[in-house]
Copies of this chain bind each other. A is one copy, B any other.
């Protein structure tokens, strides 16, 4: 018989050391009732002494559940996602789940690859917060075997589960705010065409424009990043008939637009007002003071996990769970002026 030291101890090692059977150790570990106090004490002592950790791998194999969920984000370096990731992790941890996060870069190829890995990994569910055109792929890959909840973007499918913000409403609030400030020529720097949330925001913008009898010809399709915003805004701002207000599809894009304005020498909001979407931490900084729409990221992430957990329960809900959170307008320096007329409906926190 070989005595192997320093290897991480197994339940069998503990059983031997404690002079009991494997089943007994298992019962103690799982806080099962039918164990006498003295036995339990002996076992616990052995566990503590040997530094035993039950293998969740083995546990997962026998139970069929890995206590792990997957989180798909577009790009963790976009400040929106870390906030989401944190709330997802916190809520997952609260329920004993681990999170494997992956960046899809909004690429279908990448998503396919990642899904395959996640499935192989035996994850129990997926929170999909990325916005690429991968919905069918995702649903197909999972083949109804793995609970899935979309967040951040609302899926096409009417039977999918999701927790999203009302993007259209948010954008409408933003546009209305601008119109009430007296702006008549507004530009909207949209995200990529494939992003459903971006399209919803665009729709909100357009509806206000048309309701107000204004042109919505100043609409650009771009990325979700700073550079995209800067380039589009630069074109608009150095060209003829420039907009007096620009709304970005998200805060990052709007930050880029602000850069462009400053580089050109325009003042915000005096020469051009700016507003974004997401209400990232920086937006509220005195340095920036960006008017934005909060999607209540923390709540969104938390709810997404809660919904996923419901989905994983037995029996699974037979109706899809779909939640739409109300966004909140946050007015700041980038649009404020002395003539501002605050909408009472948007003054709430």
In the assembled complex, the Cα of A79 lies from the Cα of B79 at a distance in Å of 7
Q: Does A91 contact B (CB under 8 A)?
A: no
A342 in the interface, Cβ–Cβ < 8 Å? no
Q: B98 to A145, Cβ gap below 8 A?
A: no
Asked whether A8 is an interface residue with its Cβ less than 8 Å from the other chain, the reply is yes
B281 touches A77 (CB 8 A): yes
B-contacting residues, A47-71, CB 8 Å: 51, 53-58, 60-61, 66, 68
* Chain B contacts for A313, CB-based, 8 A: none
B55, B82, B116, B258: the one within 8 Å of A77 (CB): B82
Q: Which residue of chain B has the shortest Cβ distance to A256 in the bound complex? A: B285
| Copy count, this protein chain | 2
Smallest beta-carbon distance A67→chain B, Å: 8
Q: Are A76 and B85 in contact (CB under 8 A)?
A: yes
B8 touches A145 (CB 8 A): yes
**A286 interface neighbour in B75, B98, B144, B262, Cβ under 8 Å:** B262
Q: Select which of B7, B99, B116, B287 is within 8 A of A258 by beta carbon.
A: B287
* Chain B residues, Cβ within 8 Å of A53: 116, 119-120
Q: Contact at B287–A56, with CB atoms within 8 Å?
A: no
Judged by a CB distance under 8 angstroms, whether A143 is at the interface is yes
Q: A61-B57, A77-B82, A98-B117 are in contact. Are A226 and B8 (CB under 8 A)?
A: no
Size bin of chain A's contact surface: 35 or more
Q: Which 8 A-B pairs have the closest CB atoms?
A: A259-B286, A57-B122, A76-B82, A53-B120, A56-B120, A77-B82, A57-B60, A53-B119
Q: How far is the CB of A258 from chain B (nearest CB, A)?
A: 6
Asked whether any CB of chain B lies closer than 8 Å to the CB of A35, the reply is no
Q: In the complex, what distance in Å separates the CA atom of A120 from the CA atom of B98? A: 11
Q: List 23 A-B contacts (CB under 8 A).
A: A6-B143, A6-B145, A8-B119, A53-B116, A53-B119, A53-B120, A54-B120, A56-B120, A57-B57, A57-B60, A57-B122, A76-B76, A77-B82, A77-B281, A86-B103, A89-B101, A98-B100, A98-B121, A99-B100, A226-B281, A226-B285, A262-B286, A287-B287
Q: Mark A94-110, 1 if CB is under 8 A from B, else 0.
A: 00001111110000000
Q: Does A282 contact B (CB under 8 A)?
A: yes
Q: Which residues of B contact A286 (CB under 8 A)?
A: 259, 262-263
A116 to chain B, nearest CB (A): 6
Shortest CB-to-CB span from A252 to chain B, Å, is 10
Residues of B close to A101: CB separation below 8 A: 85, 89, 99, 101
Question: A142 → chain B, closest Cβ, in Å?
Answer: 10
Cα separation A53 to B77 with both chains bound (whole Å): 30
Further pairs besides A6-B144, A77-B79: 15, Cβ < 8 Å:
A6-B145, A7-B145, A54-B120, A55-B61, A56-B120, A57-B121, A61-B61, A77-B86, A79-B82, A86-B103, A98-B121, A255-B287, A258-B287, A259-B286, A259-B287
